[in-house]
A and B are shown apart, each in its own frame.
Chain A
Amino acid sequence: MSITWYLCVSAIVFSTGVGGVLTRKNPLVVLLSLELMLNAGNLALVAFSRAHGNLEGQVFALIVMVVAACEVAVGLGLIVALYRRRLPIDVDKLRELQG
């Protein structure tokens, strides 16, 4: 399979993630859609790494996975904090930074 196929899959997954971030209201699903976008980027990085025959793209993909894990930890902490303060779990109703 040529590298273009992998890049097309990556593009479709990325657009799906963008659509999810823009349309869903539950912040949990918004975080999941962000994961989709990061994974699409990972797939493109690994595909380019294979195309050029050096491993730096794979190293970049691993660093992206670390950053995604950090983002998940902080984002889920925020959602748990929202739930404890009885705030609505809905990104449309969370418009103020004031606690």
Chain B
Amino acid sequence: MAEVMFFIAAIVALAGAGGTVVLRNPFYSVLALVSHLLGLAALFLLLRAEFVAAAQVIVYAGAVMVLYVFVVAYVGGQDRPLSPRHGPGMRAIALLFSGALLVEIFIAVIGSGLSVLDTEGTGFFATFGSPGEIGKLFLTKFLLAFELASLLLLVAAVGAVILARRRSGLDDPRELSVADLLRSPESGTIADAERGSLQEAAGPPGR
């Protein structure tokens, strides 16, 4: 049964990966990637990684792919065919390179001689892959990585907002900035008056 499930999930994942690369319309590429992620989540379940599979479906196939779909719908999918500006030679070299990489990884995996790779895995305990065990590891052994991940998410969110904001919106007088909110209305007038009086006290600029 596990073998049948493995082959179904692997075929779905590989077909999704191929479709992501081959399909011309970016919208269909996103949909193919969603099917790839679902197949990969099934593979994670077969590897007893329940929490990773759930996070894969919810975070990846849910949130991140919705972001992709919105951006594809906003930018508009240009489904024009590949323009051979560099000719078919560069493309053949690229495909040759990825094929050579595939052969190299196969040689490394199959020829590694690690005896653990021929088994179904060792040391499987009852709560393997449960959210409790992973949370325990995150809060004890990998606490620094956990905090750094949260910091990275904050930086990426701020960076994405700054990158994607409207450029012309900065000159819009109806738009409020943070400095406007921090400045109270009466302090502005007092500061102007004081600046004026100081300039008068200093006299005309002689230098």
Are A58 and B101 closer than 8 Å at their CB atoms? no
- A47–B45 Cα distance when bound, in Å, is 11
Q: Tell which of B47, B129, B155 touches A47, judged by Cβ atoms closer than 8 Å.
A: B47
Asked whether A98 is an interface residue with its Cβ less than 8 Å from the other chain, the reply is: no
B interface residues (Cβ-Cβ under 8 A, vs A): 2-3, 6, 10, 13-14, 17-18, 20-21, 26, 29-30, 33, 36-37, 40, 43-44, 46-49, 51-52, 55-56, 59-60, 63-64, 67-68, 71-72, 74-75, 78, 82-83, 85-86, 91, 94-95, 97-99, 101-102, 105-106, 109-110, 116-125, 128-129, 133-134, 137-138, 141-142, 145, 149, 152-153, 155-157, 159-164, 166-167
Q: Tell me which residues across on chain A come within 8 A of B46, comparing CB atoms.
A: 1
A interface residues (Cβ-Cβ under 8 A, vs B): 1-9, 11-20, 22-26, 28-29, 31-33, 35-36, 39, 42-43, 46-47, 49-56, 58-59, 61-63, 65-74, 76-81, 83-85, 89, 92
Nearest CB in chain A: distance from B125 CB, A:
8
Are A33 and B133 closer than 8 Å at their CB atoms? no
Considering only CB atoms, which chain A residue lies closest to B118 in the complex? A2
Are A17 and B152 closer than 8 Å at their CB atoms? no
User: Given A5-B6, A39-B36, A55-B134: A89 and B75 within 8 A (CB)?
Assistant: yes
Jot down 28 A-B pairs with beta carbons below 8 A, ordered by A.
Answer: A1-B3, A1-B46, A7-B109, A9-B10, A13-B17, A14-B102, A15-B98, A17-B17, A18-B97, A18-B101, A29-B21, A35-B64, A42-B56, A46-B52, A50-B124, A52-B122, A53-B121, A53-B128, A55-B128, A56-B141, A59-B142, A61-B49, A62-B55, A67-B152, A76-B67, A76-B160, A79-B71, A79-B75
Q: Tell me which residues across on chain A come within 8 A of B82, comparing CB atoms.
A: 23-25
Q: Tell me which residues across on chain B come within 8 A of A35, comparing CB atoms.
A: 33, 64
Q: Tell me which residues across on chain B come within 8 A of A5, comparing CB atoms.
A: 6, 10
User: Given A22-B98, A50-B47, A70-B152: A58 and B121 within 8 A (CB)?
Assistant: no
Nearest CB in chain A: distance from B34 CB, A:
10
